[in-house]
Structure 1
Amino acid sequence: MKAVVLGADDHFRPAEVAEPVPGPGEVAVRVAYAGVQWGDVLVRDGHFPVPRPFVPGFEAAGRIAAVGDGVDGSRIGEQVVALVGGGGYAQVVLVPAVLAIGTEGVDVRTAAGAGWVAPTAYDLINAVTGVGPGDSVLIHAASGGVGTLAAQFAAVAGARRIVGVVGSAERADYARQFGYDQVLTREEFPGALGEETFDAILDPVGGATRIANLAHLAPHGRLAVYGNIATFEPVAVSTNDLLMNGQSLMTYNSNLLSRTAPARLAAAATRALALVANGSVRVDITAEHELADVATAIDDLATGATCGKSIVRVR
């Protein structure tokens, strides 16, 4: 079958590889579209060490073509989005059956775009920070896949004010269409906020941004950390200061969740997709690439050349 392989030289190349066969508890999904996500960048740059050659791609949508032992055979033919640890940039991908999530009411292209970003954004708003009616929310990387969905999930949850932070004025214009009350550029943050504080803050950035976020966290506020786009250098936080203000700093690791509590991740994905299906939120796919152009798609994400969500057409 056709696939894209990441070699020891950090280059992505089209290749012919053996079609995988599902083992116990697995299904094989014939891929129509695969989503491009930050995990692809981390693998390419060596932050997630994997044996090379490696078929990347961590989210794919299509139909179940075969099932392994212990999986209900009636699932063959079901349209699903697969949340995987690799292998998505190929014509067939294997996935644990629990993480082959039904996409009823959502077209296969949109399902691929939802991928990991939909359950991640949903959990950050609902499970981690517990946004509710009247809350104010600050979201970094507001024009990305998670950020555009998180703003919409926050609005559904009843947030009274939603502020985003992005890398440029052009990205600010893009982000505003997803319900943000105000969008700042990185240069404007945090100065333009004055003394404003927030009940919930979503931070995938790290470094100085994380420190500034703590300064703008309201009493009883919740800061959710789910990445380190800017730097992997640790940030020291005083738990005594958090305690005095009733504040919480929490982390979210969807990759870990997929391995330790996959049913929880699948449940979040199902709830998120239901809101996509009924029109409450939308996944905005802004770029579609051919399988041979995976390297370009990942580079565009890494350099900030794309907003919203990029996908790769496989079928």
Structure 2
Amino acid sequence: MRAIILDSDDHYRITERDEPAPGPGEVAVRVAYAGIQWGDTMVRDGHFPVPRPFVPGFEASGHIVAVGAGVDGDRVGEAVTALATGGAWAEVAVVPAALALPIGDLPLRTAAGFGWGTPTAYDLVHTAARLRQGDSVLVHAAAGGVGGLAAQFARLAGAGRVVGVAGGARRAEYAAAGAFDRIVHREAFPAALGDERFDVVLDSVGGRTRQEGLRLLAPHGRLVAYGGLDAREPVPVDAGDLLMTGRSLVTYNSDLLSRTHPDRLGDSARRALDLLTRGRIRIDITAEYDPAELDVAVRRLSDGTTLGKSVLRVAGRL
């Protein structure tokens, strides 16, 4: 089969590789579209060390063409959205059966955009933050795929107010068209919020932003840390201080969850997918790339040019 590799010089190339076979509890998916996500920038930049050459790609859509031991053979031919630990930028990818979700009549392009971001956003709201009716929510990286989806899930869960933080005028304008009540420019954070306090803060940034987020929590508020874009600055936390006000610092790691409890991640993904197929949420796919454009696609995501979700067309292009 043909696959895209990330080589030792940090460039993507198309090459021939052996077609992978599914092991126990796995399925092989013939890929139609693949998602492009933040993990791809982390791998390219060496933050997730993997042996090179490496076949990237962590999310895909397509049809199951083979199943491993313990998987129902009737799944062959099923259209799915799939979460992978790599290898999705290829004609065929192998993924855990529990993380290959049937999509029914959902377009394959949209299903590729579902990716890790949608179940992550669902879990941030429902599992980690345990959002309650009427809660006020602050979402960092509001113009990103996860941030925009988290705002939609918060709305559906009954949030009373959803405020987003976005960097730059272009990203703030994009986020403002989503499910937020207000967008604050990152340059004006936190001063622009004044005395406002939040029941839930969703933070993928870390550093000073996380420290300010803890300060902005209302009594019994929950800050969910699910990333560290600004990991250079440590965030000291006084458990005694949190205890006195009932505030909590919670973490969420979807990659770890996929390896320790894939059934839990799969359950959240199915719930999120149901909301998508019923039109209760939307995924904003703003760019579609050919394999030859991957260097540009990943660079645009890394430097903040990308708004919404980008996908890679695999079928017929490799």
TM-score (norm 1): 0.98
Please name the residue that 1:32 is paired with. Answer: 32
Asked if the contact 2:99–2:266 (Cα under 8 Å) also holds between the matched residues in 1, the reply is yes
Per-residue deviation, 1:9: 2.0
Cα separation, 1, equivalents of 2:135 and 2:232: 30
The one-letter code sitting in structure 2 at the alignment partner of 1:270 is: R
The aligned counterpart of 2:46 is: 46
Letter of the structure 1 residue corresponding to residue 152 of structure 2: Q
Structure 1, unaligned runs of 5 or more: none
Separation in structure 2 between the aligned mates of residue 301 and residue 19 of structure 1, nearest angstrom: 29
1:268-303 Cα shifts (integer Å, max 9, x gaps): 111001111111110000010012222211111100
Alpha-carbon deviation of 1:106?
2.2
Measure how far apart 1:216 and its partner are: 0.5
1:141 partnered with 2:165: no
Aligned residue pairs total 315
**In structure 1, how many angstroms separate the alpha carbons of the residues matched to 2:104 and 2:199?**
34
Aligned-residue CA RMSD (Å): 1.0
Q: Is the 8 A contact 1:4 1:294 kept in 2?
A: no
Question: What per-residue deviation string (whole Å, max 9, x for no partner) do you get for residues 60-111 of structure 1?
Answer: 0111011112211100011111111100111110011111111234221111
Q: Which runs of 5+ in 2 are unaligned?
A: none
The equivalent of 1:230 in structure 2 is 230
> What residue in structure 1 maps to residue 98 of structure 2?
98
Residue of structure 1 in register with 2:274 after alignment: 274
5 Å-filtered alignment, 1:242-281, equals 242-281=242-281
Deviates most, 6-15 or 270-279:
6-15
Matching residue of 1:189: 189
Residues 208 and 233, structure 2, Cα contact 8 Å, conserved in 1: no
Of the structure 1 ranges 64-73 and 191-200, higher mean CA displacement relative to structure 2 is found in: 64-73
User: Quick one: distance in 2 between partners of 1:29 and 1:231?
Assistant: 35
Residue 109 of structure 1 corresponds to 109
- 2:216 corresponds in structure 1 to 216
Mapped partners of 1:28, 1:219: distance in 2: 48
Match of 1:305 in 2: 305
CA distance in 2, matches of 1:264, 1:103: 18
Q: Which residue of 2 aligns with 1:84?
A: 84
Residues 1:167 and 2:178 are matched in the alignment: no
Runs of 4+ in 1 over 3 A off after TM superposition: none
CA–CA distance in 1 between the matches of 2:218 and 2:269? 29
Conserved 8 A contact 1:106-1:273: no
Aligned counterpart, 1:200: 200
What is the CA-CA distance between 1:232 and the residue it aligns to? 4.3
Which residue of 2 is the match for residue 151 of structure 1? Answer: 151
The separation in 1 between residues aligned to 2:106 and 2:158, in whole angstroms, is 24
Quick check: 101-110 or 158-167, which moved more?
A: 101-110
Once the 2 structures are TM-superposed, how far is the Cα of residue 234 of structure 1 from its aligned partner?
2.6
- Aligned-residue sequence identity (percent) comes to 59
Name the CA distance, whole Å, in 2 between partners of 1:292 and 1:60. Answer: 18
Following superposition, the deviation at residue 245 of structure 1 comes to 0.6
